[in-house]
Amino acid sequence: MSPTLKRWLPAAIIVCAVAVFIGLKATRPQQPQVLPKERIWYVNTVTAQPQRLAPVLTLYGQVETPDLVKAAAPGRARVQQVLVREGSRITPNQLVLTLDPRDFEPKVQQAQARVDELHARIASEHLRYASDREALKHDQSLLELAQLAVERAEKMKRRKLGSEAALDQAREVYERQALVLTARKLALDDHTARLNQLHAQLQQAEAELASARLDLERSRIHAPFAGYIAQVDVAAGDQVTANQFLLSMYPSDRLEIRAKIPAPFQAELQRTVAGGETLQATGDFAGEPLQLTLGRIAGEADPRGIDAFFRIDRGAGQLRLGSRLSLALQRPPHDRAVAIPAAALYGSHRIYTLVDGRLQGIEVTRLGERIGRHGSPELLVTSPQLKAGDRIVTSHLPNAVTGLRAEPVPDQPVDDAT
């Protein structure tokens, strides 16, 4: 091969390869242009049905009773018997505890003796009064005789037949008898005062006797109702002092539940109760459903809220004093309320409806919560923009905005909000 050909052959090969590449690129088939397609989000929806619905407020309460009885010792004594234990069920008039009666019987006997003594003194006073009335007549006669003796002594002295000493003696007898008559009259006049004083002492003695008998009676403690023993603070043989607590008990049919109503709902519920409306509540304890009624609201509040007291209408069989439980209080109903799942709410006041295949944001007012037909919690909301038949989106989309393309999930069962 000639040197010239050898030098130009590589360049010719490169030129041919470039020409072939350009020809192949120019004759390749054209690909159709791909246009961007908007994504469709498939969502679940419920149909809005504005109606009058009552939201539910969840509260946490404790079982109490206004009739807790705390039995105390009537006096210093020794515990003789304790016939119950904490948690024992009691029946009306059941004997639950006794104190030694020997610590109280002497006081009863002393008080009785004092009463008997005063009865005797009153009888003696009546006899004395009768005797003084009878003696008054004799004292009056003796005074008259002494007066006649003085007059005779004066006549004898004027006639020079009697002495001055005889006259003085007659006058002395008269004065002494006058003093006796005066003392007798004073005793008669003082009869009423002495009798009143004795009757006052008798009343005091009878009160002391009644108190002593009451202490003796209270040394045997009986249950005043059907219920339970809450606490026992003593044992047989203990020495107790006056007013020392022995045990406490409560009636099983007078239990109530105290629950704190949060401050944001305080005014609403106070207005409802003041208007005479009845609010119901439900709960559950030990697997037994409870039916409750809001009975009254406390007279004192604090920054956290105010206490409410619920009457137990049904289901109190398993409750015990101090038990804690949650309850659902039905708040006053609201018109044009719509129930939605919690996932349908964005933030605290926004939901989306599906209109012509796109999301439409609506500002709503949150009214509260309630338990749905299937036992799941639901939110109650309202808005003037929300109308019956609107499809509310219940699938929570992280990028939800007004105008986002969306369609209902195919074959979605119809689920109406109620």
Domain end call among 163, 194, 216: 216
The answer to whether position 263 is within a domain reads: yes
Query: Which H/E stretch holds residue 283?
Result: strand 280-285
First vs last C-alpha separation in the chain: 98
Does residue 3 carry a pLDDT above 70?
no
The phi, psi pair for 288, rounded to 5°, reads -110, 125
Alpha-carbon distance 180 to 178, whole Å?
5
Same domain, 190 and 235: no
pLDDT (0 to 100) of residue 264:
87
Counting the structural domains of the chain, the total is: 4
| pTM (two decimals) | 0.66
Query: Which H/E stretch holds residue 231?
Result: strand 227-232
Q: Is 287 left (phi over 0), alpha (psi -120 to 50) or beta?
A: left
**Closest alpha carbon to 57 in 219, 269, 313:** 269
pLDDT (0 to 100) of residue 134:
78
CA dihedral 299, 302, 305, 306 (to 10 degrees): -20
Does residue 34 carry a pLDDT above 60?
no
pLDDT (0 to 100) of residue 59:
92
| pLDDT per residue as tens digits for the range 103-127 | 999 999 999 999 999 999 899 888 8
Alpha-carbon distance 54 to 334, whole Å?
6
Domain end call among 275, 307, 330: 330
The answer to whether position 415 is within a domain reads: no
Does residue 390 carry a pLDDT above 60?
yes
- Which of 49-53, 177-181, 342-346 has the weakest average pLDDT? 177-181
Does residue 201 carry a pLDDT above 60?
yes
| pLDDT per residue as tens digits for the range 143-155 | 777 777 777 777 7
Same domain, 230 and 187: no
Say how many residues make up the chain: 418
CA distances from 92 to 20, 98, 250, 252, 286 (A): 116, 16, 11, 12, 27
The answer to whether position 1 is within a domain reads: no
Collapse the DSSP code of 17 into the 3-class scheme (helix H, G, I; strand E, B; otherwise coil) and give the result.
Answer: helix
The residue ranking higher by pLDDT, 313 or 156, is: 313
Same domain, 61 and 75: no
Same domain, 402 and 314: no
Same domain, 288 and 274: yes
Does residue 188 carry a pLDDT above 70?
yes
Does residue 347 carry a pLDDT above 90?
no
**Closest alpha carbon to 400 in 390, 392, 388:** 392
The residue ranking higher by pLDDT, 11 or 169, is: 169
Percent of the chain with pLDDT over 70: 89
Q: E-assigned strands of 56-127? A: 56-64, 69-72, 77-82, 89-90, 95-99
Collapse the DSSP code of 94 into the 3-class scheme (helix H, G, I; strand E, B; otherwise coil) and give the result.
Answer: coil
Alpha-carbon distance 285 to 294, whole Å?
18
pLDDT (0 to 100) of residue 127:
86
Same domain, 172 and 307: no
The answer to whether position 382 is within a domain reads: yes
How many of the other CB atoms lie within 10 Å of CB of 170?
A: 22
Same domain, 141 and 193: yes
Q: How confident is the model at residue 5 (pLDDT cuts 50, 70, 90)?
A: low
Token couple for 123:
């009888």
The phi, psi pair for 391, rounded to 5°, reads -95, 110
pLDDT (0 to 100) of residue 159:
72
The answer to whether position 375 is within a domain reads: yes
Alpha-carbon distance 89 to 99, whole Å?
21
CATH number of the domain to which 244 belongs: 2.40.50.100
pLDDT (0 to 100) of residue 418:
45
Same domain, 88 and 227: yes
Percent of the chain with pLDDT over 90: 38
pLDDT (0 to 100) of residue 309:
94
- Which of 35-44, 270-279, 317-326, 388-397 has the weakest average pLDDT? 35-44
The average confidence (pLDDT) of the chain is 85
| pLDDT per residue as tens digits for the range 372-381 | 777 778 889 9
| pLDDT per residue as tens digits for the range 210-240 | 999 999 999 999 999 999 999 999 999 999 9
Q: What domain range is 49 assigned to?
A: 45-54+334-408
The answer to whether position 303 is within a domain reads: yes
- Which of 18-27, 28-37, 241-250, 256-265 has the weakest average pLDDT? 28-37
**Helices 105-158/164-189 angle, 10° precision:** 150
Collapse the DSSP code of 235 into the 3-class scheme (helix H, G, I; strand E, B; otherwise coil) and give the result.
Answer: coil
pLDDT (0 to 100) of residue 23:
67
Contact 353, 401 (CB under 8 A): no
Token couple for 315:
């289901």
pLDDT (0 to 100) of residue 33:
58
- Which of 6-10, 343-347, 406-410 has the weakest average pLDDT? 6-10
Same domain, 283 and 371: no
Contact 216, 108 (CB under 8 A): yes
The mean pLDDT of 399-412, rounded to a whole number, is: 82
The answer to whether position 157 is within a domain reads: yes
The answer to whether position 194 is within a domain reads: yes
How many of the other CB atoms lie within 10 Å of CB of 371?
A: 13
pLDDT (0 to 100) of residue 4:
63
Contact 386, 364 (CB under 8 A): yes
Q: What is the DSSP string of 204-222?
A: HHHHHHHHHHHHHHHTEEE
Same domain, 169 and 206: yes
Residue type, 337: A
Token couple for 6:
């050898």
Domain end call among 299, 330, 361: 330
- Which of 20-24, 40-44, 356-360 has the weakest average pLDDT? 20-24
| pLDDT per residue as tens digits for the range 42-95 | 888 888 999 998 888 889 999 999 999 999 999 999 999 999 999 999 999 999
Same domain, 231 and 88: yes
CATH number of the domain to which 285 belongs: 2.40.30.170
Same domain, 355 and 320: no
Q: E-assigned strands of 73-189? A: 77-82, 89-90, 95-99
